[in-house]
Amino acid sequence: MTERNSWNYRNPCLTMHQPWASLLVYGIKRIEGRSWPAPIRGFFKQQIIPTSGKRGKKIIAKRGIEKCRLWIHAAGKVPDEATIKAMEEFYREIYAVDGIYDLKFPENYPVSRLLGCVEVVGCSRREELACWKEVPQGARLEALTDFCWLCEQPQKLLVPFEMRGNQGVYNLERKIYEAAVRGLAPVQSPLPTKFPLPNPHDPFSLKPGSIFARFPGSKATEMEKSSALSSAITGAQAAATQFSKKDQSSCNDAIQNRNRTDAKRIGQFESKSWENNRSPAGNFNKGSNRGARLFLKQGQSSYSEHDGISSHNQLPRADSNQPLRPPSKIFTDAMRELKLS
């Protein structure tokens, strides 16, 4: 997705890797960490009320706040046992900080499935969440990335839907949404967490920078961490980082392979155009330049997005004021023929 505007989403969905996807839908994971701020939040739901006035005016009334439901889809990569073990141990330790010791983890972690949804109530920076004393300590310890999406009210599908996902936040297909919304069941979180609004009168006040604005000069409390807790945090960070590096590497390899293929095709096109369209005097046909430039324009960019970060890889653009340069060998042969003539 190149644009992250909350008004562009009807039924926003996010594809996540396992085991993080199921942990979020089961209410164990409360913070979804990203390198970019949440593009979706709650909004005012409006209602048009007709009146019987002289001019028949209609009044637009704000009925209240409609929280943003974010659907969660599990990616197709099967998680390895070491990653599952590291993340389950991480959550055992951070819940133990708040006195919660009996956690019921999912029995399995299905892939390529729509799992359920959560309500995204706001977004904060990592350093802000670490200072937020109104939030349980365990939730503050989940702040491991630059931006933290604050999630409440998890719901899971009784029967997860098989579907293909996408990168970034995208709209769920209408037919899938209509079927899924009927199969939701509420989830009892181990420790239900409410993220209070910095400004109770502003439903959009929970955004990056708002917590520091409300509590200026606040600092993260130095919490004494046991060796088990420190080890669990390190393991969770390693699991997430290793997973991201693997995905980014595969994305980069795909981009490079595509660029090499496009460059090869363009080279073949240029060579063929030079041989087919040169005149006896060794000049290009002007129409062939336009065709070559059109070919270049069609294959000029490739796009990939991982974890909200987009990258555009463009091939060199043809200059509309200059003819295409032929390959060096063909150019040498042409010059030799001109000298002989």
Confidence at residue 258, expressed as pLDDT on a 0 to 100 scale: 53
Span 47-57, average pLDDT? 51
Query: CB count, 10 Å around CB of 2?
Result: 8
pLDDT in tens, 323-336: 444 455 665 676 66
Confidence at residue 44, expressed as pLDDT on a 0 to 100 scale: 45
Contact 120, 68 (CB under 8 A): yes
Per-chain mean pLDDT for the chain: 75
Give the pTM. 0.66
Span 248-267, average pLDDT? 55
- Read off the tokens for 61: 């009334």
CA separation for the pair 199, 207 (Å, rounded):
11
Instruction: Classify burial at 78, counting beta carbons within 10 Å of its beta carbon; exposed 0-12, middle 13-18, buried 19 or more.
Output: exposed
pLDDT in tens, 282-296: 444 444 444 444 444
Query: CB count, 10 Å around CB of 7?
Result: 8
pLDDT in tens, 119-176: 999 999 999 998 898 999 999 999 999 999 999 999 999 999 999 999 999 999 999 9
Span 89-116, average pLDDT? 96
Buried b (16+ CB within 10 A) or exposed e, 18-53: bbbbbbbbbbbbbbbbbebbbbbbbeeeeeeeeeee
Confidence at residue 304, expressed as pLDDT on a 0 to 100 scale: 36
